[in-house]
């Protein structure tokens, strides 16, 4: 296993301000990664029960072993790795140090890193969140980040603009698979459109500026939602990627994707976490599981295209 610095390290300096990146747009990079490595995003979710399943302690050493094993196994072969920030934050600064290293190592091995942070705020606070994950000068610089729009889509403008500047991406929570989400996302506005449909329309407009071969502004849409997408009046043809949690342990399968996402299925990035991670700490088993899921998704998309 690759040697890593102690999780006690701290960055020597803070970024002084947003820095411009020479990266191509995230949407183009994601399309290439999906075509070359298979359309799959694997979560890095070191929650306590999974650490225990791996025979690891719920402590910094367990976190470090778990995280670096997943990166070693998958970063050179899957399109996207999605660390869940909360599972690192709970260990304080030492957990963040492990996250920083995982992000750097994953990107160095060719995986795109989608930071699952679900940040959402207004003004200078939202700008600070954006700089944390989308500024190339930041120790946590990632290829994309998840954000919550429920202080109003316009509140996301600092992240949307910095993503365009830095060649990164943003995934906006639109139609999530948790039952509680419907009370907000399915709510109907005065103009008759649901809140979720409004978010998707905003993203379509965002992507219209640079949608070839795929826009950089994505939506999070649960793969388990099925017919409820139609009930929300959801037009998934946003010109950008659709992050689809729910494959594997949550019950959805690759074969369900064409039915759920229709003509937009080619832009779906299915997310699998427990379905792959349960096979650790065996590196070969992790790789085999990820390859199997990616192959199933590729076959489902090809079948839908005819």
CA dist., res. 1 & res. 71, Å (int) = 10
β-partners of residue 113 are 81
Task: Summarize the chain as % helix, strand, coil (round to 5).
Answer: 45, 15, 40
CA dist., res. 202 & res. 188, Å (int) = 16
Torsion of CA 210, 214, 215, 221, to 10 degrees: 160
Give 266's DSSP letter. Answer: G
Tokens of 261: 């996402």
DSSP secondary structure of 114-162: EEEEEE---HHHHHHHHHHHH-TTSTT--SEEEE--TT-GGGGHHHHHH
CB neighbours of 119 closer than 8 A, spacing ≥ 6?
126, 129, 132, 133, 145, 146, 147, 148, 159
Half-sphere exposure of 242 (CA within 13 A, CB side): 28
Q: Which residues are catalytic?
A: 118
β-partners of residue 112 are 80
CA dist., res. 34 & res. 209, Å (int) = 22
């Amino acid at each position: 296993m690759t040697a890593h610095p102690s999780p006690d390290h701290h960055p020597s300096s803070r970024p002084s301000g947003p820095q411009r990146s020479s990266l191509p747009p995230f949407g183009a990079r994601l399309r290439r990664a999906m075509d070359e490595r298979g359309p799959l995003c694997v979560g890095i979710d070191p929650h306590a029960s999974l650490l225990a399943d791996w025979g690891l302690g719920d402590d910094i050493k367990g976190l470090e072993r778990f995280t670096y094993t997943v990166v070693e196994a998958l970063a050179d072969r899957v399109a996207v790795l999605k660390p869940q920030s909360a599972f690192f934050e709970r260990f304080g600064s030492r957990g963040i140090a492990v996250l920083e290293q995982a992000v750097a190592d994953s990107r160095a091995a060719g995986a795109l890193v989608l930071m699952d942070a679900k940040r959402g705020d207004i003004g200078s606070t939202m700008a600070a969140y954006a700089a944390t994950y989308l500024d190339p000068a930041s120790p946590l610089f990632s290829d994309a980040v998840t954000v919550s729009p429920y202080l109003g889509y316009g509140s996301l403008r600092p992240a949307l603009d910095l993503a365009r500047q830095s060649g990164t991406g943003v995934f906006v929570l639109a139609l999530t698979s948790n039952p509680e989400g419907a009370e907000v996302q399915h709510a109907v506005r005065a103009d008759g459109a649901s809140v979720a449909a409004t978010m998707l329309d905003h993203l379509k407009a965002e992507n219209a500026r640079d949608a070839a071969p795929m826009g950089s502004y994505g939506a999070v849409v649960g793969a388990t939602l099925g017919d409820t997408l139609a009930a929300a009046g959801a037009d998934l043809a946003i010109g950008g990627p659709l992050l689809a949690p729910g494959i594997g342990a949550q019950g959805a399968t690759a074969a369900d994707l064409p039915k759920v996402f229709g003509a937009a299925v080619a832009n779906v990035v299915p997310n699998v976490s427990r379905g792959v991670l349960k096979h650790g700490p065996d590196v070969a088993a992790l790789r085999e599981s990820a390859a199997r899921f990616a192959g199933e998704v590729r076959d489902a998309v090809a079948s839908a295209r005819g």
